Chains A and B, each alone.
Chain A
Amino acid sequence: MGQGGERRRLQAHDGELGAAVARAQDGDETAFAVAYRMVQPGLLGYLRGLVGDDAEDVASDAWLEIARDLGRFKGDGAGFRGWTATIARHRALDHLRRQRVRPRATGLEQDVLELPGPHSTYDQALEALSTERALALVRGLPRDQAEAVLLRVVVGLDGPAAARVLGKRPGAVRTAAYRGLKRLARQLDGGLPAVHGADGGVTDEGPGTLGDST
Chain B
Amino acid sequence: MGERHSDDGPPGRRRAHPGGPVPGPRPADPGTALEARFGTALRPDGAGLDPEAERRAVAAFRAARDAGAHRARTRRRDDWRPRAPRRARFSVTASLSAFLASVTLGGLAVAAIASAGAPAHRGDEQPAPHPTADTSERPASVPAPEPSGPRPATSQAPASPAPTDPAATESAAAHARPDRPATAKDTLAHCRAYEQVKDRGKALNSTAWQRLVTAAGGAEKVAAYCAGRLAAATTAAEEPGAGR
Q: A residues within 8 Å of B by Cβ?
A: 1-7, 10, 24-25, 27, 29, 32-33, 36-37, 40-42, 44-45, 48-49, 56, 59-60, 63-64, 66-76, 78-80, 82-83, 86, 122-123, 125-126, 128-131, 133-135, 138, 149-150, 152-154, 156, 160-161, 164, 178, 181-182, 184-185, 188-189, 192, 194-196
Contact = CB atoms under 8 A, between A and B. Distances in A.
B46 to A, nearest CB: 6
Interface residues of B, number: 54
Contacts, number: 188
Given A3-B29, A64-B56, 5 more contacts: A44-B44, A129-B41, A182-B30, A189-B24, A192-B23
29 contacts: A5-B35, A6-B35, A6-B36, A27-B65, A29-B61, A41-B46, A45-B44, A49-B42, A60-B57, A63-B57, A68-B60, A68-B64, A69-B64, A69-B78, A72-B73, A74-B78, A122-B21, A122-B24, A125-B24, A126-B18, A126-B24, A129-B37, A129-B38, A134-B37, A153-B38, A153-B39, A154-B43, A184-B30, A185-B30
B199 interface: no
B177 to A, nearest CB: 62
A75 B79 contact: yes
- Of the candidates A7, A25, A73, the one having the most CB atoms from chain B within 10 angstroms of its own CB is A73
Contacts of B43: 41-42, 44-45, 154
Q: Which of B41, B74, B79 has the most CB of A within 10 A?
A: B41
Nearest to A59: B53
Interface of B: 17-19, 21, 23-27, 29-32, 34-46, 48-50, 53-54, 56-58, 60-65, 69-75, 77-83
